[in-house]
Structure 1
């Protein structure tokens, strides 16, 4: 029985459109150019920040992030950045008595912004706040701590095989791959993902049926 569901953030509960669009505007390149580069570098197994370095070689991403914040053009998250199924699913899980944690590879600022949306969850945490990021095992140790359930009763939901599905499974968690976002679609039919994932879904509302089984 699933007692706790842990949801990845980017392309699981939030669209990444705004995030990369604002970076493109800041670097003064077409939005499609940066979006395509992000997809290309991630498909090659690189960190998505490599797309920024392709556009501006030698860029200090952290310093540039701070410059954007100082200029009033920093990170933002609003209600319309959430996928449409997020709030209904979270409310249904809450009513079902399931503990829900949101945890992903995002900045501390993203954590603050998500909490400001008042999502019906028990906890929001980011790698920036924890000081450790996926796919590092220490990240999933933190997940197990905050989940407040034994690993076999924790379900981690994400779109990224290398960051979500495989390391979560190695940590002893149940895993669910969501076919959403570039990586979700790209790896949806990968044999290793199919073999590893306990469930594969197209929408978060399918989690309701999973916790009821």
Structure 2
């Protein structure tokens, strides 16, 4: 029985277009160039921040992020960055009596911006706030605490099989792979994605998934 659903953030709830576009503008390269590099490094199993290092070798990503903030070009998150199915799906899950939480690999600032959107969720947390990131087991232990139910009663939803599906399952959570965004599509038919308890193309499918598990 699923009593809580936990959501990844990037390319699950929000589009990453704005964020990567801001980085491309800051580094002075075409947005398509950086987008292609992100896809390439991820397909190679590397950290997506390696795309920034290819554009500017030796870059200190965190220092540049601080510089962007000081220049008034820091992180921004608006209603238009949410995928259209997000609010309806979250609200439907809560009406079904399910605890809904959000936890992904994002900065402290991203957590503040998400809370400002006043989503119909019970809690929001980020790796920057916790000091631990996916795919570390400790991250998923924190999710279980946030969900306030046993691990086997938590469904973790994300687009990244290696960062979401597999480590969540190892931590004892149930999993749903979302075919969304570059990574969700790239690995949709992989063995790792197929290992998920459910595979969905829209968050609105999750009420049925919760009832079936």
> Normalising by structure 1, what TM-score?
0.98
Deviation of 1:161 after TM superposition, in Å, equals: 1.0
Compute the displacement of 1:211 (Å): 2.0
For 2:192 and 2:147, the matched residues in 1 are separated by 26
Q: Which runs of 5+ in 2 are unaligned?
A: none
Q: Is 1:14 the counterpart of 2:11 in the alignment?
A: no
Report the counterpart of residue 166 of structure 2 in structure 1: 166
1:199 paired residue number: 198
Residue 134 (structure 1) aligns with: 134
Q: Give the corresponding residue for 1:182.
A: 182
- Residue segments in structure 1 that go unaligned for 5+ positions in a row: none
For 1:39 and 1:12, the matched residues in 2 are separated by 17
Give, in whole Å, the separation in 2 of the partners of 1:153 and 1:61.
37
Query: How far 1:198 moved relative to its partner?
Result: 0.3
Aligned to 1:109: 109
- TM-score (structure 2 length as normaliser): 0.98
CA distance in 2, matches of 1:210, 1:190: 20
Q: Which runs of structure 1 show a deviation greater than 3 angstroms over 4 or more consecutive aligned residues? A: none
Aligned residue for 1:94?
A: 94
Q: Is the 8 A contact 2:154 2:173 kept in 1?
A: yes
Render the CA deviation track for 1:7-62: whole Å, top value 9, x for unaligned: 00000000000000000000010000000100100110110110000000000000
